Amino acid sequence: MMKIKSFLKDMIQTLLISFILVFILLKFVFMPCVVEGTSMYPILQDNDFGYSFIISKNLGINRFDIAVIKIEDPLNEKLLVKRVIGLPNEKVTYKDNELYINDTLIDEDFLGDDIYTNDFEIVLNDDEYCCLGDNRNVSRDSRYYGAFKKDNIVSTHLLVLYPFKDFGLK
């Protein structure tokens, strides 16, 4: 009888520690993420699955990072996967398919040759970011939703685990 009680106590203790550890990891370190749609093609594909890093957001959000963004949709809360283009207090301008940050030309070498960005301009405040999909022709991003607040950015970077052919840090 004592062995069973000891076993049950150890089992409950192990389960409790495991649940607490998983909770801490998912709340503060990384989160599971599924890419929906083709707005990040060709870097990310529809249904790519992986983990995005919450902790890296807290270390700083940089230009061209891939970010997971929480938006309030009228029907439900939604997560978007986009690329950070503009940082706080910057003026982001696209003119003739060229990116200018504070009137300085910036190269976007990750974009395919067939991607075209229509002209637009956005001026960002202290805690705002301009985030766009790599497949600009089909992406709903800052051009549609406006600038994203830092609080809306949940995590950055994405380690794709599945499908295996796409495995890697993006």
Residue 82 catalytic?
Answer: yes
Residue 9 catalytic?
Answer: no
Catalytic residue among 57, 82, 139, 142: 82
Catalytic residue among 39, 52, 139, 155: 39
**Bond before 88 cis per omega within 30 degrees:** no
Which residues are designated catalytic? 39, 82
